[in-house]
């Protein structure tokens, strides 16, 4: 067993209260050299230590604008990659637990995307007819793929404006890795469902015929978020039988049928702001990650707002849950000792092309 693994094992035995005290002490000693980022889905015992909270892109930009030498991202792997890509060269991005990945991001890898691009070339010239669009929830090399093929990155906030730009470039879009965000956004743009087809990366030609590819406006990757996939329209129907006054709000990573039954559909920030600005005494059924929903309930219950999690089954982002106070403390005390552990460093040739796709997105969204 390596020295670093022994160190992690030793930290895992520290109780949360002691961890909290030592994290606070380490933060004070590191001062402005450190910035801790926390995604909205992060568990509360870690979330409380963050300097900035938000979605992955917003956090990365805040970190890049800070004076910090060390960016500790309490999120998942692709988020720390974005932080590294957008930060200054002298800044160091760190992920407290390298096993904190994203199951959705893992559903689209570079080999499968390049294979799809080659197979599409047997039907049409993809570089002439298809704009590749990757959700920010994806690996850096997929962002680089989009950058090098005239494509772009999107978030759940700017997906519509990104798709509008993409169609101004070419007549079709290959959208990965989340089929639901692509479908929900496309349908809101009046693209018929039969012009949005699913590319199954385990099947030759994605399981599609030449005619289906020819007729498609959006080719949706067969990917999804394991958290948002759990929400079902029947859950809305059952809840509204008991509380008919309930307002339904869903993240666009949720299935199409759930979004169609919702009163509001939008990004994590949109959900937070909508509930924040709602009238006191309102009741909300929310289709997004459990930690965030519970936090909203606690934050606004004094206003008489009732915020409920849509699924009767407990479901949280299990990979992000791997970031715990013990791993955060391990990272910080190593920094105090002059050791950088779990650095996330995107190769410059990948970062350059990924940055190109991100810059296109930022220009389109500005």
The pLDDT score that the predictor gives to residue 61 is 87
CATH of 228-309, one of 3.90.1170.50, 3.40.50.10860, 3.40.50.10800, 3.20.80.10: 3.40.50.10800
The pLDDT score that the predictor gives to residue 13 is 86
Mean pLDDT of 74-90: 93
The pLDDT score that the predictor gives to residue 2 is 44
The pLDDT score that the predictor gives to residue 317 is 63
| Average of per-residue pLDDT values in the chain | 93
Mean pLDDT of 329-333: 95
The pLDDT score that the predictor gives to residue 3 is 45
Those residues with Cβ within 8 angstroms of residue 219's Cβ, 6 or more apart along the chain or in another chain: 120, 130, 172, 173, 174, 175, 196, 197, 199, 206, 208, 213
Q: Phi-psi category of 281—alpha, beta or left, where left has phi over 0 and alpha has psi -120 to 50?
A: left
Q: How far apart are CA 329 and CA 336, in angstroms?
A: 11
The pLDDT score that the predictor gives to residue 186 is 98
The 3-state DSSP class for residue 14 equals coil
**pLDDT greater than 50 at residue 37:** yes
**pLDDT greater than 60 at residue 100:** yes
The pLDDT score that the predictor gives to residue 1 is 34
Which residue would you say has higher pLDDT here, 101 or 44? 44
Render 225-264 in DSSP notation, one character per residue: -TTGGG--HHHHHHHHHH-TT-EEEE-TTS-HHHHHT-SE
For residue 286, what are the β-bridge partners? 249, 309
pLDDT tens digits, 352-363: 999 999 999 999
**pLDDT greater than 50 at residue 116:** yes
The pLDDT score that the predictor gives to residue 58 is 85
Q: How far apart are CA 326 and CA 15, in angstroms?
A: 8
The 3-state DSSP class for residue 296 equals helix
Q: What is the pTM of this model?
A: 0.92
pLDDT tens digits, 255-292: 999 999 999 999 999 999 999 999 999 999 999 989 89
- Given a contact cutoff of 8 angstroms between Cβ atoms, the answer to whether 103 and 319 are in contact is yes
pLDDT tens digits, 280-289: 999 999 999 8
| Whole-angstrom Cα Rg for the chain | 21
- Between vectors from CA 58 to CA 53 and to CA 61, what angle results, nearest 5°? 115
Model confidence at 10, in pLDDT bands (50, 70, 90)? confident
pLDDT tens digits, 123-179: 999 999 999 999 999 999 999 999 999 999 999 999 999 999 999 999 999 999 999
CATH of 3-100+319-346, one of 3.40.1160.10, 3.90.1200.10, 2.60.120.10, 3.40.50.10800: 3.40.50.10800
The pLDDT score that the predictor gives to residue 315 is 59
pLDDT tens digits, 58-73: 888 888 899 999 999 9
């Amino acid at each position: 067993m390596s020295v670093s693994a022994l160190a992690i094992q030793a930290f895992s035995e520290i109780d949360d209260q002691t961890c909290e005290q030592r994290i606070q002490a380490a933060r004070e000693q590191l001062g402005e050299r450190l910035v801790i980022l926390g995604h909205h889905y992060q568990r509360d015992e870690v979330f409380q230590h963050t300097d900035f909270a938000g979605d992955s892109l917003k956090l990365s930009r805040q970190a890049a604008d800070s004076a910090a030498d060390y960016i500790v991202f309490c999120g998942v792997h692709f988020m720390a990659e974005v932080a590294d890509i957008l930060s200054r060269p002298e800044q160091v991005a760190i992920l407290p637990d390298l096993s904190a990945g994203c199951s959705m991001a893992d559903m689209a890898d570079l080999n499968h995307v390049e294979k799809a691009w080659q197979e599409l070339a047997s039907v049409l010239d993809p570089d002439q007819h298809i704009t590749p669009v990757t959700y920010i929830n994806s690996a850096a090399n997929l962002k680089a793929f989009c950058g090098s093929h005239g494509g772009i990155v999107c978030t759940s906030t700017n997906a519509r404006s990104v798709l509008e730009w993409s169609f101004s470039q070419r007549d079709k879009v290959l959208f990965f890795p989340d089929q639901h965000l692509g479908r929900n956004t496309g349908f809101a743009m009046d693209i018929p469902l039969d012009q949005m087809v699913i590319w199954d990366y385990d099947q030759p030609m994605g399981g599609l015929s030449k005619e289906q590819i020819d007729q498609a406006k959006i080719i949706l990757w067969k990917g999804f978020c394991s958290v948002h996939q759990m929400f079902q329209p029947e859950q809305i129907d059952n809840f509204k039988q008991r509380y008919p006054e309930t307002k339904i709000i869903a993240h666009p990573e949720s299935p199409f049928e759930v979004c169609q039954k919702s009163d509001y559909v939008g990004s994590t920030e949109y959900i937070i702001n909508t509930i924040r600005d709602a009238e006191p005494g309102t009741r909300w059924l929310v289709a997004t990650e459990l930690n965030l929903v519970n936090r909203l309930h606690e934050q606004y219950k004094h206003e008489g707002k009732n915020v409920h999690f849509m699924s009767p089954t407990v479901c949280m982002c299990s990979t992000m849950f791997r970031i715990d106070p013990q791993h955060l403390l391990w990272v910080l005390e190593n920094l105090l000792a002059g050791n950088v552990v779990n650095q996330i460093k995107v190769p410059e040739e990948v970062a350059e092309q990924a940055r190109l796709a991100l810059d296109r997105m930022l220009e389109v969204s500005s």
